[in-house]
Structure 1
């Protein structure tokens, strides 16, 4: 399959995938919005039911309060005579109070006034007198009777004189003396038919599995319409004043066959077709330059020579996408960089070979000098010429350690480098009659780190010859080492005559300027050291110079640091 059909297939797959994803997202959003609307509607229904129940309770509370403050009730409970009211008087009192509460006439089952010790003062129920006695013996009444505020009971059953049992909801209100504040002496019990409350909750059956009515923290009524109400349902709780309704609402399924949703699908499908029609010329616009570049890459791969300069054929900027132009240029830059790297590598190998040759040739003189000086040292010892013996022995040791055979590395430990440097400075101190002193401040844990051989000797030589010997009086050379985050640092300072910093920096930056190299003192040794560091470490090593006429000369060598 060529690149054109590959792009067509993949872009088409991307468009179809995008269509499916967008369709799924739109469907999920639509269903989610529908569920949120249903949930909001269910919350509103439960809240409205709670408000209606609270309105009914409020009317019952007002009726009960009017009964409590009625003088006949106060006299019956707090009067001195202790005379009880007859059922007829109690019935008349209830009828008089209900004149102002027409909505409660059919809801009240019976009313009674009882004392704290459960003695009936009067009742409206025309029965054999055992009705309220049985009522007060029930468990719910025993719990409510311990409180000091009005409460509803749970729905319970009570039998009348004929043995007929009926469901009743009791509202119990403590009665206080209206003349003086004291503890409640009795209660008014108002028994209600719970039909209205049950019917109000029954209306919610189509949308709910179960609904529970609580009043003041006490569960009054639970209507369970289906089994396993807690499964696959939304829990809703609405509280209005003291009325609390908890419901398990049914999950309503939202149909995806919706006109607005279908219209969105059609729009997305139309966009897909339009995208495919636009894609064909666009792909041609992209593919042709890519094919040209691909063919050139194949040809380069088959006939590539890194030492040859290869030019990538340019593309037309007028009819080619910017990204393809960048790709073409990037490939061209890659070939150019590879060519330059190859040239640098060839040059590097030449320098390394030249360095190896020079090192091998340089071994001839040290061997000859070593043998000759060894003979001089023996003769000086026989003649008791201590100075001649010491300087000769230092030179022998220096020459011996400077010989690098072909199978040896061009590096040594810093400790070995310091020992060779001490031998060298010993010779120079005899030569210049203690013109200078050397102060070495390097901790023992740094002496095992590997450094290039003779990395310090050329710098110390420059300090002696070009810095201290031209100076009046004695001079000092300080040598130290340190470790930074990325480098192992060697530092050589002197208090010689110094020079203009820009001159020495210019000489190091222009190694091909032979006239400048001869003019600036000490630059040749530093230039050779810089080339050696570049061969070993590449661009990771640096030489930093700070100098000032009359102040001194400082050389800082930074080589890459690794813990191993």
Structure 2
């Protein structure tokens, strides 16, 4: 109910004009379509822009990792040069180096390490002896000693912490065995180069940008955290640091780049909010774009709606003028479409209604005149009936029963004819048969032993309604124009049967028959017979048949067709089918 009430309130705010409502509906449709299109386009382009930003950030992270890899390559070069230095080889071969030899070895290590600020110190493990190039800080490093008979492959260790008084250092070590140059399979010691993670942290801090901070990881261990700690807050969202450059998580994306040659990985987190913030200019762009498109469409739609509704306005004005009583109004529409056809139809309708009203006035005048004439004509039948009844009384006194029967038949025929004047257009088959029998009675007194009538009426159809004065004229036509001109007596058959939902009627005689051209003319209907009757003044067949055809067309319409079967010297048959009319019904 609420949406319906809201829609009605919105409709009440609009002026009651189709153009305004149509423009408002189309404008709302365009606004919705533009908004939806902009919304979908924004999300599509924002997604593309996010992916491009992630790719660029991943490339930057990779470049930073490559800088670390360059430092590692420098470390590898320093290590190889140091391992091949003759002074280091000689020191490792000396079983019990003295103080000066140890100082020279320490100085050698310091000289090599001074070329890179990331290198904190170095030491040489030789059997159970340890040589630092710096003063040993503590004994924490003892756990990293390797048994003499074990050769551990070169590599980086996990970060560890050493203490110097109250200070502590986080270091990472790169270790490699020292092999005898003469016998490469013989291990003569182990070289450890320690990396200062504070120096590495300061270098990474220089690469950090707002919302683009980096973290150095070793496996799942954080070596150098991000300044704000944002990278470490959601590390539990990923099971393991993979080699994939971009790893999506629920709240954003993790960018990773391994430092080749080390167990370390650079990691950076990009939250969705930060990525959307970098695409915020798209929101402004698409809002302005939507408004521009909407205004442009509104401008175009206003002209189109005005062009399309102008003929409707003209048609509405014409209808209002016609409704006010102006029956001569005409409208002029030239839109070359259905509206122009509608306008022409309206003009035709106005002219036709004007003609029908004029015709109705004339018909009303004629109807009133006919009603008056019928009222006058009812006076004469009463006088005729009284006169004929007097004849019957006189015939009875004279003992002439034939005159009595003939006058009674005439009275029955006259009464049946008056029923039509009283708007009784349909009657039962039994009643129509009684009229025919009365007519035949009269004609038998005139033409004794000249003809006989056979009634072939299907049982049960006596109360079926049929049009009045249809059968009697056909019987009269068969007697006078078929049997009377014939030499000798003749027979007439009236046949009525039911065929599905119709009455099949036949009036058949064995008289002289009709000419083929006259039979074909009768089948053409009342209009053709009337024209023939006017052309041939001496026509004797046309009067009754014209009346029958006109009555059939008036009462039943054009589907009722009078058929003629005739052969000269053998007889004629009139056949037609009528729709079944229930008692109390009509033919409409």
For Structure 1 versus Structure 2, the TM-score category normalised by the shorter chain is: 0.3 to 0.5
TM-score scaled by length of structure 1: 0.48
TM-score scaled by length of structure 2: 0.46
